[in-house]
């Protein structure tokens, strides 16, 4: 089973952003990227999407400090999908990412694990640093 840690960053938020995927075995970034004008939420979601794509058909465990994305994919998106990607009180923000991540999550063997951010968890701290470096080194 592959184990990844992911993180995203935007500063200011919205503003330039970066994301990363860390291999838990090697404790190193295996994939990262950036966008010139984005949000922290979009970068966190992008990191999760890219981690699932990177794992291919291999079972995967992703550790993330984005409780928002875990809740979106496991709690809210099933209802939104059943309702034609609508919710009762307004638009679904970042719908493009929500739909892509939801489809990937449901078509792969993925376990999402929430970790508290910024409390010294080694691989989460490495992911945070790498996402910020990706943001700073954007094209």
Task: Report d(CA 7, CA 121) in Å as an integer.
Answer: 13
Q: Per residue of the chain (139 residues), what is the pLDDT tens digit?
A: 999 999 999 999 999 999 999 999 999 999 999 999 999 999 999 999 999 999 999 999 999 999 999 999 999 999 999 999 999 888 999 999 999 999 999 999 999 999 999 899 999 999 999 999 999 986 3
pLDDT of residue 138: 65
Query: Which residue carries 């739909």 as its tokens?
Result: 99
pLDDT of residue 2: 97
Task: Report d(CA 115, CA 22) in Å as an integer.
Answer: 14
Domains of the chain with CATH codes: 2-136 (3.30.420.10)
Q: Which residues contact 12 (CB under 8 A, 6 or more apart)?
A: none
CB-based contacts of 79-82 (< 8 A; 24+ apart in sequence): none
Q: In this structure, is the dihedral angle defined by the CA atoms of residues 57, 29, 99 and 2, taken in order, positive or negative?
A: positive
Instruction: Kindly state the DSSP code that residue 65 receives in the 8-state scheme.
Output: S
pLDDT of residue 137: 86
pLDDT of residue 22: 98
pLDDT of residue 139: 39
Structure tokens, 10:
């935007």
In angstroms, the Cα distances linking 22 to 9, 84, 132 are 14, 34, 13
């Amino acid at each position: 089973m592959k184990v990844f840690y992911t993180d995203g960053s935007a500063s200011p938020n919205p503003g330039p952003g970066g994301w990363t995927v860390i291999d838990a075995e090697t404790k190193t970034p295996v994939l990262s990227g950036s966008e010139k004008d984005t949000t922290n939420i979009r970068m966190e979601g992008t990191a999760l999407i890219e981690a699932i794509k990177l794992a291919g058909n291999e079972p995967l465990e992703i550790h993330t400090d984005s409780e928002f994305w875990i809740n979106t994919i496991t709690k809210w998106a099933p209802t939104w999908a059943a309702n034609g990607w609508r919710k009762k009180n307004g638009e679904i923000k970042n719908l493009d990412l929500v739909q892509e991540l939801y489809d990937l999550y449901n078509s792969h063997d993925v376990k999402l694990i929430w970790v508290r951010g910024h409390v010294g968890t080694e691989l989460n701290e490495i992911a945070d640093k790498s996402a910020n470096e990706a943001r700073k080194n954007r094209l």
